[in-house]
Amino acid sequence: MEPPTLASGDPSETARLVGSQSGRSSSSLRLKSLFAGSQDVFPNLPSENGHANISMVGLKMEPCVVPHCHLMPCSTTQSQQKRQAQRKLSIACLVCFLFMVGEVIGGYLAHSLAIMTDAAHLLTDMGSMGVSLFSLWVSTRPATKTMSFGWHRSETLGALASVFSIWIVTGVLVYLASARIISNDYEIEASVMLGTSACAVGVNIIMAYLLHQSGSAHSHGFSTRDYEQIEDSPRGPSIPTHDNTSVRAAFVHVVGDLLQSIGVFVAATVIYFKPQCKIADPVSTFLFSVFVLGSTLTILRDVFRVLMEGTPRGVEFQAVKETLLSVKGVKQVHNLHLWALTLSHHVVAVHLAVESDADMEVVLQEATALLQSKFGFFSCTIQVEHYLDDMVTCHQCQDPQD
């Protein structure tokens, strides 16, 4: 009997075990195929105690990719990564809150709506970092019979609440700026505005430094580039992590706020040297309000994708289907569903119709390993069944529309 082969066409220890031990119990077969064959599936990876250890390219976290339905990060590196992310976000959130209060006071004393708008942007940053911190904490809570997926989507609900609060604050500031332009009855304490905006620039530089992750030592989200690294890197797959994504998102927010603070500083400088140009304050409020609202639109788009159970960003439906079809013995892929439990937890469910002589156990394990290693799915549910001719005309077995 010729041993089964992997999708690449090369015989593996997993396939030889399945071929030579097909008569043994399923429990013995599963244990051997889960651990003994992982080094052959990814031959270029370093091994420990005979088992492959798939490290994320440039990351400290090392997900243990095995032919099982879950993507299981190694506990030690996961804890270190989570603690590091929590520490950075906690410090940045505290600094952000303290200076937001300082900007509100400074904006009130300077009678500057532009400073208040900058404080509103800080509120956006703080809300984003607070949601990330909460999601890191709540992700450690176990699933319950009521919440079978756990509490991961609390992150999404928190982000939605943060967006709504920012819209309310920004709307009030735009209304006040409009009233100032119409009445022209206001005075600006330029020196206080200048000092507060200068401090804002400094604080944002400090927060950016705290959150900055240099070089390519971290993965920062879900993009096509991540999946290109999977194909090109000899070390194995690069799977994004939520911890790094949260810190990166906070860093991007702070950089945006830094640009706005520089704009407020320029407006304060103009008013300081030319008091008759005080209209620069409400005009800056309009401009930066658009900037603040624009920064929330990306959050709202991601929230909408998660709540509507859309295909995860950066994961192509056709690419997943073709990967599954590359598994030996798979003749048809249908009922393929890809959705985002959260932005960093992707889930897949699929039916694989296989040829009559295919070993279903081998197909299941190889398909699971490919989905985890190539796309980083958090959970995989695969139903393997024998191919039937009427599947070609079955309406439920057709691909979804483009």
Average pLDDT over residues 190-215: 81
pLDDT tens digit sequence for 266-310:
989 999 999 888 899 889 888 888 887 887 888 888 889 888 988
The phi and psi torsions of 22 (rounded to 5 degrees) equal -60, -20
Distance (Å, whole) CA 251 – CA 214: 12
E strand segments, 84-175? none
Structure confidence at residue 229 as a pLDDT band (50, 70, 90)? very low
Distance (Å, whole) CA 363 – CA 256: 47
More confident call, 336 vs 187: 336
Question: According to the CATH classification, is domain 76-214+244-308 in 1.10.10.10?
Answer: no
Residues facing residue 385 across a β-bridge: 353
pLDDT tens digit sequence for 351-360:
999 999 999 9
Q: CA Rg, the chain, in Å? A: 27
Q: For the domain with range 317-397, which CATH number is right: 3.30.70.1350, 3.40.50.11540, 3.40.190.10, 3.10.129.10?
A: 3.30.70.1350
pLDDT tens digit sequence for 301-337:
888 988 898 888 889 999 999 999 999 999 999 999 9
Structure confidence at residue 78 as a pLDDT band (50, 70, 90)? low
Per the structure block, which two tokens stand in for 63? Answer: 């997900």
Give the pLDDT confidence score for residue 230 in this predicted structure: 32
pLDDT tens digit sequence for 93-143:
888 888 889 989 998 999 888 888 888 878 877 877 787 787 777 767 788
Distance (Å, whole) CA 300 – CA 374: 28
Burial class (CB in 10 A: 0-12, 13-18, 19+), 200: buried
Give the pLDDT confidence score for residue 137 in this predicted structure: 78
The phi and psi torsions of 72 (rounded to 5 degrees) equal -110, 110
Q: Where are the domains of the chain?
A: 76-214+244-308, 317-397
Give the pLDDT confidence score for residue 246 in this predicted structure: 64
58 has a pLDDT exceeding 50: no
Q: Which of 55-69, 146-160, 188-202, 388-402 has the lowest mean pLDDT?
A: 55-69
Give the helix/strand (H/E) hosting 349. Answer: strand 346-354
Residues facing residue 64 across a β-bridge: 72
